[in-house]
Amino acid sequence: MHIDAKIVKALREKTGAGMMDCKKALQEAEGNEEKAVDILREKGLSAAAKRADRAANQGIIDSYIHLGGKIGVLVEVNCETDFVARNDEFREFVRNICLQVAATNPTYLTKDQVPENILDKERQIIKAQALNDGKPEKVIDKIVEGRIEKFYSENCLMNQTFVKDEDLTVGELLTHLMAKIGENIIIRRFSRFEIGENVENESSCCCG
């Protein structure tokens, strides 16, 4: 299968893996970039994946107050060195995460943090709706899993579409920054406050 050099280059920039490794992963994934990223990670070829095991004890806490003071956000993002913590691109990333949380109000950081009982309830509701809509039994499971993925993309920060670029998820944005800067970077936790609601989302995760 022919793989365009631009796609190979984009995958290399995203993961930090070698050009030939990226090309092979894309061929194996039949051109699907997300699958190619997973293949590189599974083979330990993704630079971001290798960095994920390194300690990230530096970083910054940033805040954002929406116009009018109705919504406030606190975010902690960690990196390996104080040098990177002072880097303008790193700080811009943290600010963008603050804006993301303010705009989309995620409940969890990653899909792994969604409690199983919440997922079970969602599956039951989706299945009941599909049956009520007259969907055939044989496609119900596929419908359920498809809508669960949508649930993740709406409620989990790392799975959300980045508000400034619809072609990227927040997780992909983070992986790209790790590959570019060369350090492990972790969105450690976030809190969002809105006037009139008692809402606090606090999560932690090591991504790579």
Q: What pLDDT sits at residue 197?
A: 78
- Cβ atoms of 4 and 36 closer than 8 Å: no
Residue 70's pLDDT is 94
3-state class (DSSP) for residue 2: coil
Distance CA 162, CA 164 (A): 6
Q: What is the DSSP letter of 145?
A: H
CA nearest neighbour of 81 among 207, 189, 183? 183
Q: What is the CATH number of domain 115-154?
A: 1.10.286.20
Q: How far apart are CA 20 and CA 179, in angstroms?
A: 17
- Name the class of domain 58-110+156-194: alpha beta
List the pLDDT tens digit at each of the 208 positions of the chain. 778 888 888 887 777 677 788 888 899 888 888 888 888 877 655 556 556 667 788 999 999 999 889 999 999 999 999 999 999 999 999 999 999 999 999 999 999 999 999 999 999 999 888 888 878 877 888 888 889 999 999 999 999 999 999 988 999 899 889 888 888 899 999 999 999 876 455 554 444 4
Class of domain 5-45: mainly alpha
Which residues does 126 contact at the CB level (< 8 Å), separation at least 6?
A: 143, 144, 147, 148
Domain ranges in the chain are 5-45, 58-110+156-194, 115-154
168's tokens: 């990227």
